[in-house]
Amino acid sequence: PMSENWSATDTYLADFLVGDDPALDDALAANAAAGLRPIDVAPVQGKFLHLLARIRGARRVLEIGTLGGYSTIWLARAVGESGHVTTLEYEPRHAEVARGNLDRAGVGDRVDIRVGAALDTLPELEGPFDLVFIDADKENNSNYVREALRLSRPGTVIVVDNVVRAGAISDLDDDDPNARASRELVAVLAAEPRLDATALQTVGVKGWDGFALALVVE
């Protein structure tokens, strides 16, 4: 089936372009040992986020949804030694695993993990952030974009993961809450005059999905 080709090709690309990365491999192993679900971004996507942050010259990054900190490591590397990542996680156990992974990866001192429901912790934060990566409970994506806007300035980049959901977004008979949230999200992105946005479908080791990318323009 097609999904096997997607996976094999993703692995081929990652072998060349991501390569061996003991800190990231160790983080995934620690996640698995702790029983965390393997719902981190794929290696090629982690590197994409890392490059995007560097292209933006991001020094302050906000992440919503830490899990074991796999994407957090990629983002923390991108901001450099004097940069900072704030990452929000609901599950204390996930935050604890992430703390270990970030420290072992040598970027722990530039990452602040805030434990709690993101809708509760976001109002405590002060911006502006240069890049916001939204990857938590998908039903709140529109709320997270509104909060991200409050914490932005013109030039801030906002990435929202998992908006395509194997095409469920465009299957209007599919009333799965996550699919509905994706439809609401793109409507919010389209209607918000402070944002210029697009969305891309992706295939790979994580199946068929995609992300939205928005630029804060005013």
Specify the residue, 90 or 211, whose C-beta has the smaller distance to ligand SAM: 90
CA atoms of 148 and 185, how far apart (whole Å):
13
Specify the residue, 196 or 202, whose C-beta has the smaller distance to ligand SAM: 202
Map tokens 């996550």 to a residue.
178
Q: How far is the CB of 105 from ligand SAM (least distance, A)?
A: 12
Q: Is 142 in the site for ligand SAM (CB under 6 A)?
A: no
Question: One-letter amino acid identity for 199?
Answer: A
Q: Helix %, strand %, coil % for the chain, to 5?
A: 50, 20, 30
User: CB atoms < 10 A from the CB of 17, how many?
Assistant: 11
Contact range with ligand SAM by CB under 6 A, out of 4-12, 99-107, 129-137, 176-184: 129-137
Residue 159 CB-half CA count within 13 A: 25
Q: Do the Cβ atoms of 169 and 138 come closer than 8 Å?
A: no
Contact range with ligand SAM by CB under 6 A, out of 8-16, 53-61, 86-94, 103-111: 86-94
Report phi then psi at 203, rounded to 5: -130, 160
Count the residues of the shown chain that bind ligand SAM, applying the rule CB under 6 A. 18
Q: Is 117 in the site for ligand SAM (CB under 6 A)?
A: yes
For ligand SAM, which residue of 10, 21, 40, 209 counts as binding (CB under 6 A)? Answer: 40
Where on the chain is the footprint of ligand SAM (CB under 6 A)? 39-41, 65-67, 70-71, 88-91, 94, 117-118, 135-137
